[in-house]
Chains A and B, each alone.
Chain A
Amino acid sequence: MNTAKKFNLWMGIALLILCFFIIFVVYPLILILYKSVIDPESSKLTLDYFTKFFARKYYWSTLVNSFYVTVCSTIIASVIGLPMAYVLRSVKIPGSKYLNILIVISYLSPPFIGAYAWIQLLGRNGFVTQIINSIFGVKLDGIYGFAGIVLVFALQSFPLIYMYVSGALKNLDNSLNEAAESLGLTAFQRVRQIILPLVMPSLLAGSLLVFMRVFSDFGTPMLIGEGFKTFPVLIYTQFMGEVSTDDHFAASLCVIVIVITLLLFFLQRYIAGHYSYSMTALKPMEAVEAKGSKKIFAYLFVYGVTFLAMLPQLTVIFTSFLEVSGGAVYTGNFSLQNYMNTLFAKDNNSITNTYLFGICAIFIVVFMGIFISYLTVRKRSYVTEVLDTVTMFPYIIPGSVLGISFLYAFNKQPLILSGTALIIIISLAIRRMPYTIRSSTAIITQISPSIEEAAISLGATEFKSFWKVTVPMMLPGVLAGAIMSWITLISELSSSIILYTSKTSTLTVAIYTEVIRSNFGNAAAYSTVLTLTSIISLLIFFKLTHNKDISV
């Protein structure tokens, strides 16, 4: 019967995609889990690696450090992001549209570039440190360790809180505010009793995302942490370290971090499910002209924070044009030397790699994302339900863990991928997949099924109606999402740094390695290229969507 044939076509696609995820997500994860509890010599089950971790302060203190850093950064990010969102929504501020774009840009650049830029400013030989030292005659040693990490993370993460809260405020109908006012509440009481509780779910959702990002970021503490070691740094050094590496111990660390992010993920789900209000504003809050000291304070705050957030980018772009001698010493002259050394250097394909890998990964993500979301929304079955769950796994796996698991899984027969471009492309695609699936699913659920039924009633086969009607209708939304994916992919570091070889180096890897080698000039030039690419892509995104608001 014909219906059976169609059933098989969709089922076939679902199974094919499922296979892909089993090979590239489930299998590497199981391998990590296996390694973490198996003694390589006796091949017996053991919990030694976990005991080793919790027995020695040198190890477990990194976990404490990570929590310490993450909690502090998340709180500071919320304290900055929440008032930013409220002030920009409620007070008329000239150029607020551009401030919004600048905040998004500062968010999209990789955190470790922020770390490296702040070292340029506030490090041992930083511009600002030197100025302070010469004025006050002191000998400040620069901002490293805990304070440095928190500074970078807080400034890097507040935009996420800002975007979440700003989105919630946009959906908050002003009549709620007016109702509260008519009931006799002062402006301050309104914020505390009406607005804050209503944006609280978004604030919590945003802070949990910040928490997860900060917790698994490894570039920043690596660069600016110095003696202050966090958990991702421990994982990296255990796996890549020059002194002693222990695969099985590194695997057990990966398991610990997966468990933690998994718990956070469920906490976020719980909060999103239980504490969300569905609001659609007929008449959103309007930004009004502020008066007197309130106005001055609002302007100072908003412009000040945006300036601080953009400062790393500006520093990087500025220093990229400075002449350098011996890698890290600035001569005080302007030149294009850094660009000559990087962009036009021989055998340097990190820029072309970045573009090539990014585009390939985006292609995979979009193609699969459309199919997966279509299958899970419209062709429900046990297979698609499994698919739905499995494709969300990468969301909770930190990049470095994914990278390590890939090396474990694909450096031997039958599938040797380590060192190839393909392994980086697949890792990028898989890391971004959950976001694309989520946004595509949202798009599909907005398309009425009767549109497809109409096509079928007019003689199109099921597949044709999908291809000719559903896909073209989804495409604008999916492409907008793809641009955002592209921006995040080209600034990805934590899995590429583990998977790259000299032939498959990308921009972020190049920046990182140049910074580690103290070739600040080259790093600045690479960073500038990356930042400009992000900005141009973002402008294309705004142009395409005619939309000032972004969901990441």
Chain B
Amino acid sequence: MSVAITIDNVVKRFGKDTIINGLSVDVRPGEFFTLLGPSGCGKTTLLRMIIGFNSIEGGTIKIDDQIINDIPTHLRNMGMVFQNYAIFPHMSVKDNVAFGLKNRKVAKEKMNALVDEILETVKIAHLKDRMPTQLSGGQQQRVALARAIVIHPQVLLMDEPLSNLDAKLRVEMRNAIKIIQQKIGITTVYVTHDQEEALAVSDRIAIMNNGIIQQIGTPKEIYQRPNCVFVATFIGLSNILEAKVKITGAAKILDFGAYEVPMDNLIPEISAGSKVLVSVRPEEFEICLNRSDGLTAVVEHSVFLGVTTHYFMRLENGQEIEVIQNSGVEDTIPNKTTVRLLVQPAKINVFTEDGNTPLIVRGNR
């Protein structure tokens, strides 16, 4: 009974500015789908087009097979959780949650049962008669969620719902949201600029930048196989190094100048001598103290963070890089030490010189 959302070639303009120009994406039934991107990338704009607060200047948005472009918002049957919760301050928790049901003219008995049930689900049944000013941020968040899902919407939309909570509560609430979403199996579109949050809750993530979707994939795909330099650096940290492709016989080699890495997963079409960008996450380096090969780097300073130790280093060409190692029992490497860095060929990503095309064969891990 969950629905699919088909966004086909939509256009959004504010006056003369085109914010989104022909964007298409499919959200699968029952999926927890996240729009992730830096602020101003158009993710909230897209969300508000789905619910109808923003008009659609071109293209269509379909719920299953029905085009909803011209359906007014209040008839779209979508629940929304707002960044500032938008709890009606002059109504009790119960009245807030019942608001949508009243608009649907649900019979009183059934309404009370539904309200009680949903308050139970979001674990605030004991706050039923409180006024919003008496609630904490996390509790208001739960009211907003209950209010949005009690109407059994076809689609649940959330616009940065956790950004006003403190760090600890944010983790607690994102788990709660994920559990509740799975329980009711509702198609959900979630907007956030917090990548950790996106990785934690989503079935799939769409990375947006400048009104364009850069990549759609599961959290694992997005993190481990980003399809461009933007995604690689936006999700997690990536050191971007320049290299050249060298082909000797059947072997394809990344040539960093003084250091060569044989690769077995580069795409076959790659040509010898082409310049490439290599994206290496800080944990994908291996630090060696007594070797003659590898990238030469000097430790500038280090930060001990318990589980891991972060090193800030400078390469011979002056580039600053970050390296993360699991903290061991041995001493932290002192500043100004010259070390050699090895990369792990199976984990690193390679892109064309412009950073827009991946050069790693998909599904080869």
Contact = CB atoms under 8 A, between A and B. Distances in A.
Contact of B74 (A451, A457, A472): A457
B86 A448 contact: yes
Interface stretch (A258-266, A459-467, A536-544): A459-467
B73 A456 contact: yes
A450 B164 CA distance: 15
B104 interface: yes
B90 interface: yes
A448 B99 CA distance: 18
A461 B104 CA distance: 11
A453 B76 CA distance: 13
A455 to B, nearest CB: 7
Given A2-B70, A453-B80, A464-B103, A459 B75 contact: yes
B74 A453 contact: no
A296 interface: no
A253 to B, nearest CB: 47
A472 B99 contact: no
Contact of A458 (B72, B89, B99): B99
B78 A457 contact: yes
A450 B100 contact: no
A454 interface: yes
Interface string A441-485: 000000010110111111111101000010011000000000000
A138 interface: no
A2 B88 CA distance: 26
A459 B82 contact: no
Contacts of B157: 457
Contacts of A1: 70
B244 interface: no
Contact of B89 (A455, A456, A473): A473
B338 interface: no
A454 B80 contact: yes
A473 B87 CA distance: 11
B89 A457 contact: no
Given A1-B70, A2-B72, A3-B72, A457 B84 contact: no
B80 A473 contact: no
A72 to B, nearest CB: 48
Contacts of A2: 70, 72
Contacts of B148: 457-458
B208 interface: no
The CB with the most chain A CB atoms within 10 A, among B72, B74, B144, is that of B74
A1 B75 CA distance: 13
B99 A455 contact: yes
Size class of the B contact interface (CB-based, 8 Å):
20 to 34
B29 interface: no
The CB with the most chain B CB atoms within 10 A, among A448, A454, A456, A458, is that of A458
Contact of B88 (A3, A6, A473): A473
Interface string B92-110: 0000000110011000000
The CB with the most chain B CB atoms within 10 A, among A6, A455, A457, A469, is that of A457
A458 B86 contact: no
Nearest to A459: B103
Nearest to B103: A459
Nearest to A471: B90
Interface in A1-54: 1-3, 6
Contact of B86 (A6, A453, A459, A461): A453
Contacts of B84: 448, 450
B191 interface: no
A19 to B, nearest CB: 28
Contacts of B103: 458-460, 464
Size class of the A contact interface (CB-based, 8 Å):
20 to 34
Contacts of A458: 74, 79, 99-100, 103, 147-148, 151
B33 to A, nearest CB: 18
B24 interface: no
Contacts of A455: 88, 99
Given A3-B72, A460-B103, A453 B82 contact: yes
Given A450-B86, A464-B103, A469-B88, A457 B70 contact: no
Given A2-B72, A3-B72, A457 B88 contact: no
Given A459-B75, A459-B103, A459-B104, A454 B86 contact: yes
B323 to A, nearest CB: 43
B74 A459 contact: yes
Contacts of B77: 459
Contacts of B147: 454, 458
A218 B100 CA distance: 56
A350 B315 CA distance: 92
A472 B70 contact: no
B90 A454 contact: no
Contacts of B151: 458-459
The CB with the most chain A CB atoms within 10 A, among B70, B72, B79, B88, is that of B88
B51 A457 contact: yes
Contacts of A450: 82-84, 86
A80 B57 CA distance: 61
A458 B86 CA distance: 12
The CB with the most chain B CB atoms within 10 A, among A1, A456, A472, A473, is that of A456
Contacts of B82: 448, 450, 453-454
B53 interface: yes
Contacts of B88: 451, 454-455, 469, 473
Contacts of B100: 458-459
B11 to A, nearest CB: 17
Given A2-B72, A450-B82, A472 B90 contact: yes
Nearest to B97: A458
A539 to B, nearest CB: 25
Interface in A46-71: none
B56 to A, nearest CB: 11
B72 A473 contact: no
A472 B92 CA distance: 13
Contacts of A456: 53, 73-74
A461 B52 CA distance: 13
Interface string A501-533: 000000000000000000000000000000000
A457 B47 CA distance: 13
Interface in B293-338: none
Nearest to B88: A469
A459 to B, nearest CB: 4
B131 to A, nearest CB: 13
A217 to B, nearest CB: 40
A448 B82 CA distance: 11
B91 to A, nearest CB: 8
Nearest to B76: A457
A544 B55 CA distance: 42
Nearest to B157: A457
A175 B249 CA distance: 74
Nearest to A452: B86
A1 B69 CA distance: 11
A1 B72 CA distance: 9
Contacts of A473: 88-90
Given A453-B73, A459-B74, 13 more contacts: A450-B84, A450-B86, A451-B87, A454-B144, A454-B147, A455-B88, A456-B53, A457-B73, A458-B148, A459-B77, A459-B103, A461-B74, A464-B103
16 contacts: A1-B70, A2-B70, A450-B84, A451-B86, A451-B87, A456-B53, A456-B74, A457-B74, A457-B79, A457-B80, A458-B100, A458-B148, A459-B75, A460-B74, A469-B88, A473-B90
Kindly list the 7 A-B residue pairs having the minimum CB-CB distance in the complex, ordered from nearest.
A458-B100, A459-B103, A454-B86, A450-B86, A450-B82, A457-B80, A451-B86
